[in-house]
Amino acid sequence: MDKFDLIVIGSGSGLEISAEASDRGMSVAIVEEGPFGGTCLNRGCIPSKMLIHCADVVETIKNAHLFGIEAHLGKIDWDFIIKRTYEEIDQDAQAIEEGNRNSSNITVFKGSGRFVADKTLEVNGQQITAETILIAAGTRPWVPSIPGLDKVPYITSDQALRLPQQPKRMAIVGGGYIAAELAHFFGTLGTEVTLIHRRSTMLREEDEEIAKRFTEVYQRRFNLLLDSQVSEVSSKDGGISLKVSVDNDGEKHSVEVAVDILLMATGRAPNTDLLEVANTGVEVDSRGYIKTDKFLETNVPGIWALGDIVGKYLLKHSANLEASYAANNIFHSSHKEPVDYRAMPHAIFSSPQVASVGLTEDLATRMDIEYVTSTYNYSDTAYGSSIGDLDGFVKVLAHPETREILGCHIIGAEASILIQEAANAMRLGLPTDAITQSIYVHPALPEVVQRAFAQLP
């Protein structure tokens, strides 16, 4: 059995800790089954945004007539789009792996690892151990059990971003951010998309007003089946047939959806079961995510965890934040610091974009937190009107007395950028005056955020 000073499982954000350990002269083992760089680089946020930008370009061309411009959309070069995305990403992943392999203090174990005893991993039949272990092994797509699903060639987000050909007809099961983003990508490029979602609105984690508006827009864009569940899947005429049970105001009826490809976007599951973390005594919660204390250490001293597998926020910027704290807490144990998750923003790169930070109105109500709220439409600002965004708006929440910013929620153009000023103010503990008393460029889109705060009672 080979013994190391540190074992890092996963080659995403956990590499910050392995790099520091290597710089300190420690012996490090990195266990990674797939390409280096983690989910974000290889099959998540980076390739998806590169592909989605292509959809945004197409959407601009299609909407040019709204501004008196006659434009024609020619050929969609699918091969070029995929090649453009993954040539750079694959090179980056390979470079990260080679950099780690060339480090004198790092040993790379390419394969799936599993715990077989206390602080002991088995990888490709070889056992390794260390007193300090960091688990940053992420999550994988979760797929529900549906009759017939195991007999058809369905895909998940792992495969959706590398399809060799553009499908003509696609069904997407799910109503979260992955379903929203991929529907925009495939649908805008010309695929006939049917979205099947078991709830009455998409994006259930967002503020209710945002979710409702988003759902309205997607009902105009796609064939959106709400309050619906797939009851059976089968192969038919060279394609895939889905029987869908639709609940229409309490009356259920069945519809058949025929597609060329089926994308399951129904959530994520932690990889703790594949790692068999129970064999090293690490506790998980009811969903299978690793339990940690506020310093990111598990119940087993010396075993730490971060990123998606912890289940706090399934966001790359959250994992990067946790990595900085984990590095400090592992290497400076006498000066440990709890992770400060305040004002964690997120964004959905769909069309329209959605972005949020802080409390939703529903969450504030359930937490019995006093708040006031206001909204402001994009179209009521000069720039919002000029770009023709009739669906976009900003919603803000604040404490009625202290004027603490409790939440900000945006749907519309550049929401992923506009959310940052509210997130920064919240992170620094600044009140609403920090935004309302600032000087904004006129006429620029950020005015919509300032006006939403200025409308607060």
How far apart are alpha carbons 306 and 320 in whole angstroms?
Answer: 9
Cis peptide before 338 (omega within 30 of 0): no
How far apart are alpha carbons 317 and 346 in whole angstroms?
Answer: 9
pLDDT reported for residue 251 = 84
pLDDT reported for residue 437 = 97
User: How does 301-319 read in b/e, with b if 16+ C-beta sit within 10 Å?
Assistant: eebbbbbbbbbbbbbbebb
pLDDT reported for residue 115 = 98
- Split at pLDDT 50, 70, 90, the class of 61 is very high
- Smallest CA-to-CA distance from 214 within 391, 457, 2 is with 391
Amino acid 318 reads: S
Task: Look at residue 276 and tell me whether its pLDDT is greater than 90.
Answer: yes
Task: Look at residue 51 and tell me whether its pLDDT is greater than 90.
Answer: yes
Q: What is the mean pLDDT of residues 39-66?
A: 96
Task: Look at residue 239 and tell me whether its pLDDT is greater than 90.
Answer: yes
Question: Which uninterrupted H or E stretch holds 254?
Answer: strand 251-259
Task: Look at residue 252 and tell me whether its pLDDT is greater than 90.
Answer: no
Amino acid 166 reads: Q
User: How does 389-402 read in b/e, with b if 16+ C-beta sit within 10 Å?
Assistant: bebbbbbbbbbeee
In this structure, the number of other CB atoms found within 10 A of the CB of residue 74 comes to: 6
Q: What is the pLDDT of residues 392-409, one digit of tens each?
A: 999 999 999 999 999 999
Please provide the size of the chain in residues: 457
Q: What is the mean pLDDT of residues 290-312?
A: 98
- Split at pLDDT 50, 70, 90, the class of 248 is confident
User: How does 14-36 read in b/e, with b if 16+ C-beta sit within 10 Å?
Assistant: bbbbbbbbbeeebbbbbbbbbbb
pLDDT reported for residue 250 = 78
Vertex 142, ends 292 and 361: CA angle to 5°?
65
pLDDT reported for residue 77 = 97
Among the options 65, 184, 399, 442, which is catalytic?
Answer: 442
Q: What is the mean pLDDT of residues 133-145?
A: 97
Active-site residue 399, yes or no? Answer: no
Percent of the chain with pLDDT over 90: 97
- Split at pLDDT 50, 70, 90, the class of 122 is very high
Task: Look at residue 350 and tell me whether its pLDDT is greater than 90.
Answer: yes
pLDDT reported for residue 233 = 97
Cross-strand partners of 2: 128
Q: What is the mean pLDDT of residues 263-284?
A: 98
Q: How many angstroms from the chain centroid is the CA of residue 45?
A: 7
pLDDT reported for residue 309 = 98
- Smallest CA-to-CA distance from 457 within 362, 359, 374 is with 374
- Split at pLDDT 50, 70, 90, the class of 180 is very high
User: How does 81-114 read in b/e, with b if 16+ C-beta sit within 10 Å?
Assistant: bbeebbeebeebbeebbeebeebebbbbbbebbb
How far apart are alpha carbons 398 and 407 in whole angstroms?
Answer: 7
Q: For residue 141, give every residue at least 6 positions away whose Cβ sits within 8 Å of its Cβ, in sequence order, or none.
A: 156, 157, 158, 264, 265, 266, 267, 268, 269
Domains of the chain: 2-141+268-335 (3.50.50.60), 149-264 (3.50.50.60), 346-454 (3.30.390.30)
Reading the block at residue 303, the tokens are 């075993």
Average pLDDT value over all residues in the chain: 97
Task: Look at residue 249 and tell me whether its pLDDT is greater than 90.
Answer: no
Integer angstrom CA distances of residue 13 from 16, 37, 40, 395, 402? 6, 8, 10, 32, 37
